[in-house]
């Protein structure tokens, strides 16, 4: 009986061990299947091993359990040792697969991150290599389809060929003895100097095409060509000179009268300030950045007063005004209505002088211009107010008055107001147009010497025409919004544009304060337009009608 009991017990124990072994193998098979299915998100092997607690393993912190299992295996050596050996091999195989799978995932992630890093680097290099100014001028808003120009839409025309003759008309000039180039101009543009090609490119709608290489040639030649003649320009309140170059081109010179960062005295009236040479240069660049192209090309230059003015001038009235200051600087003052005296001289350091040179427009005998009094002209009085300053509905009267009652004249004037407000120019009493084009043409933005006088405060009265009339071109508004974005920030593109001027190597043409104030004033303009849109319906003059406006959104 005792032997039978022991046999039954041994049989039961073997049966239990067999079942236990089968259960363990089944669990291991399920575990392997789950590992293969989730290999992409498998955690590290250490966490896997710590989360598993199969019999026969010795995870960290489970030594007590391991000790009890080892004592259990000593009482059933053969079955359990075989189980432990099989499990150890199985576990090692699984861990190896898991680790390999994890390493593959890690390598893929590293490769992916490396590719993303390289792509980001390339993009950043592409962005950094492409300047904001280039990006701005590449934007669709600055590359709108040009209007079809008829023959009468050009300001100047070349004379036609002789009827029935083979000989071509030529313009031959030979003043080589006076230092001028020998000119042999034909109908071919290749024979024309840059200033003549620029003049021939003036049309009804713009003073120049921004992409016209002649404009860059004109500025480069004004900055570098030898000066052959210097005479004082008649009229005007302050000193200006007309400079002539060997290729028969001419430029209007305005001298440096005060330091660039000097603000206008707050006790002075707007008509009492000196004109600034750097204001003329900056106004040309700002007008171009805004997409107007209505200011003749302007460039800065360092000249020698002795060799490039005094020694070559044929103006006897001018030559009599030269003198040497107490500190040894060569000075002159010319003759004009204001600021032309020994108390307000133009002085070199000791003979070198900073100036602005603006390309002259075609002669009035070829292209007459009409001068228009601005409806928002100031009173130029210390006591009187202008009509627009007393009547908030003043624009209603202007809208009924020719030429503002039809065409684009009113929004043309608003463009000029926006330009003046950005550069704080209060001296816009008149503007000019080319007579040939009548009322249907652009406005010339001339004489900007009193701009950029103050940066600490803005002059809200300059913006009164926009607030009273509540009219603006769609293209102008969209460009202003574009320039308010960080990628095209107005102050940044202006800084970059001005860096192309030769005088920038001497000192910044506009101070940091003058540049940063452009962004502040731009916000003021956009806020004024927003207020108009809230209270009026007919605010936008749609000059983009017929175009897909979505193409020009930013």
CA–CA gap between residue 34 and residue 31 (Å, rounded): 5
**pLDDT of res. 45:** 39
Q: How confident is the model at residue 467 (pLDDT cuts 50, 70, 90)?
A: very high
Q: Is 125 annotated as a binding residue?
A: no
Phi, psi angles (nearest 5°) of residue 236: 90, 160
Q: For residues 418 and 546, which has the higher predicted lDDT (pLDDT)?
A: 418
Is 12 part of any known ligand binding site?
no
CB 493 within 8 A of CB 136: yes
Alpha-carbon distance 187 to 108, whole Å? 67
Cα(398)–Cα(389) distance, integer angstroms: 14
Q: Would you place residue 89 in the very low, low, confident or very high pLDDT band (cuts 50, 70, 90)?
A: very low
The mean pLDDT value for 130-150 works out to: 92
What is the band of 44 on the pLDDT scale with cuts at 50, 70, 90?
A: very low
Look over the chain and give the mean of its residue pLDDT values, rounded to a whole number: 81
Of 149, 188, 153, the C-alpha closest to 169 is 188
Specify the higher pLDDT residue, 164 or 542.
Answer: 542
Find out whether 359 is annotated in a ligand binding site: yes
The count of other CB atoms within 10 Å of the CB of residue 48 is 17
Number of H helices, E strands in the chain: 17, 14
In DSSP terms, 231 is beta-bridged to 242
Instruction: Determine whether the annotation assigns residue 216 to a binding site.
Output: no
238 labeled part of a ligand binding site: yes
Beta pairing, strands 472-473 & 540-541? parallel
pLDDT of residue 460 exceeding 70, the answer is: yes
**Residue 298 backbone phi and psi in degrees, to 5:** -130, 145
Q: Is the pLDDT of residue 546 over 50?
A: yes
The catalytic site residues sit at 427
E strand residue ranges, 142-249: 171-173, 183-185, 229-232, 241-244
Q: What is the mean pLDDT of residues 88-107?
A: 44
Annotation-wise, does 275 bind a ligand?
A: yes
| Across 20-40, average pLDDT | 60
Q: Are 285 and 494 in contact (CB under 8 A)?
A: yes
Across residues 367-382, what is the average pLDDT? 91
Q: What is the pLDDT of residues 171-193, one digit of tens each?
A: 655 566 578 887 777 878 888 99
Amino acid 363: pLDDT: 96
Query: What distance, in Å, lies between the first and last C-alpha atoms of the chain?
Result: 100
Q: Does 208 score more than 70 pLDDT?
A: yes
* pLDDT at site 8: 60
Query: Binding site annotation covers 360?
Result: yes
Query: Does 123 score more than 90 pLDDT?
Result: no
Token look-up 């107005």 returns 490
- Identify the sign of the CA torsion 232, 236, 240, 246: negative
Q: At 521, is the pLDDT very low, low, confident or very high (cuts 50, 70, 90)?
A: very high
Between 431 and 65, residue with greater pLDDT: 431
pLDDT tier for residue 217 given thresholds of 50, 70 and 90: very high
Pairs from 474-477 (Cβ < 8 Å, separation ≥ 24): 474/540, 474/541, 474/542, 474/543, 474/544, 474/549, 475/141, 475/144, 475/291, 475/543, 475/544, 475/552, 476/290, 476/291, 476/411, 476/414, 476/415, 476/418, 477/529, 477/540
Range with the largest mean pLDDT of 15-19, 28-32, 524-528: 524-528
From the list 230, 225, 241, 224, the residue with the least C-alpha distance to 312 is: 230
Please report the pLDDT score of residue 26 as a whole number.
73
pLDDT bracket for residue 266 (50, 70, 90): low
83 is known to lie in a ligand binding site: no
From the list 282, 290, 277, the residue with the least C-alpha distance to 133 is 290
pLDDT in tens, 292-346: 999 999 999 999 999 999 999 999 999 999 999 999 999 999 988 888 899 989 9
152 CB burial (10 A radius; 0-12, 13-18, 19+):
exposed
* Cβ atoms within 10 Å, residue 134: 12
Tell whether 412 is in a known binding site. Answer: no
The 3-state DSSP class for residue 326 equals: coil
Q: Where are the alpha helices (DSSP H) in 139-265?
A: 194-200, 213-224
Residues 6+ apart with CB under 8 A from 503: 278, 281, 300, 301, 302, 354, 509
Largest separation between any pair of C-alpha atoms in the chain: 150
Which of 227, 103, 247 minimizes the C-alpha distance to 181? 247
From 10-19, 37-46, 346-355, the region with the lowest mean pLDDT? 37-46
Q: 294 with 419: CB under 8 angstroms?
A: no
pLDDT at position 548:
67
């Amino acid at each position: 009986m005792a032997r039978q009991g022991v046999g039954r017990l041994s049989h039961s124990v073997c049966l239990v061990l067999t079942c236990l072994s089968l259960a363990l193998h089944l669990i291991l098979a399920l575990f392997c299947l789950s590992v293969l299915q989730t290999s992409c998100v498998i955690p590290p092997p250490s966490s896997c091993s710590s989360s598993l607690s199969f019999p026969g393993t010795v995870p960290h912190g489970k030594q007590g359990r391991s000790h009890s299992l080892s004592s259990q295996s000593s009482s059933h050596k053969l079955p359990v040792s075989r189980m432990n050996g099989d499990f150890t091999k199985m576990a090692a195989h699984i861990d190896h697969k898991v680790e390999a799978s994890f390493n593959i995932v890690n390598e893929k992630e590293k490769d992916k991150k490396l590719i993303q890093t390289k792509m980001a680097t390339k993009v950043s290099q592409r962005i950094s290599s492409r300047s904001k100014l280039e990006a701005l001028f590449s934007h669709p808003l600055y590359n709108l389809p040009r209007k079809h120009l008829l023959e009468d839409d050009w300001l100047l025309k070349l004379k036609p060929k002789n009827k029935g003759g083979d000989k071509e008309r030529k313009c031959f000039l030979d003043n080589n003895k006076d230092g001028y180039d020998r000119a042999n101009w034909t109908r071919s543009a290749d024979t024309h100097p840059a200033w003549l090609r620029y003049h021939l490119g003036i049309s009804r709608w713009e003073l120049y095409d921004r992409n016209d290489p002649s404009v860059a040639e004109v500025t480069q030649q004004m900055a570098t060509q030898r000066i052959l003649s210097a005479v004082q320009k008649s009229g005007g309140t302050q000193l200006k000179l007309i400079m002539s170059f060997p290729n028969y081109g001419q430029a209007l010179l305005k001298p440096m009268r005060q330091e660039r960062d000097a603000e206008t005295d707050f006790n002075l009236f707007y008509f009492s300030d000196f004109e600034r040479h750097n204001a003329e240069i900056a106004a040309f660049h700002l007008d171009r950045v805004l997409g107007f192209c209505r200011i003749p090309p302007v460039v800065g230059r360092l000249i020698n007063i002795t060799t490039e003015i005094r020694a070559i001038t044929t103006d006897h009235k001018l030559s009599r005004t030269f003198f040497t200051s107490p500190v040894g600087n060569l000075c002159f003052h010319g003759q004009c209505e204001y600021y032309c005296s020994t108390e307000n001289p133009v002085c070199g350091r000791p003979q070198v002088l900073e100036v602005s040179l603006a390309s002259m427009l075609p002669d009035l005998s070829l292209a007459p211009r009409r001068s228009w009094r601005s409806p928002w002209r100031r009173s130029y009085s210390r006591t009187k107010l202008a009509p627009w300053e007393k009547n908030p509905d003043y624009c209603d009267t202007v809208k009924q008055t020719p030429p503002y009652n039809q065409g684009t004249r009113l929004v043309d004037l608003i463009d000029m107001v926006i330009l003046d407000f950005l550069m704080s120019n209060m001296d816009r009493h008149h503007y000019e147009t080319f007579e040939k084009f009548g009322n249907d043409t652009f406005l010339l933005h001339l004489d900007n010497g009193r701009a950029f006088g103050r940066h600490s405060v803005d002059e809200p009265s300059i913006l009164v025409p926009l607030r009273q009339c509540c009219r603006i071109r769609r293209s102008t508004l969209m460009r202003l919004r574009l320039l308010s974005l960080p990628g095209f920030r107005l102050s940044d593109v202006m800084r970059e544009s001005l860096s192309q001027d030769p005088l920038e190597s001497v000192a910044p043409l506009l101070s940091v304060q003058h540049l940063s104030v452009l962004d502040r004033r731009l916000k003021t303009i956009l806020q004024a337009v927003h207020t108009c849109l809230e209270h009026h319906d007919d605010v936008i003059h749609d000059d983009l009608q017929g175009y897909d406006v979505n193409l020009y959104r930013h």
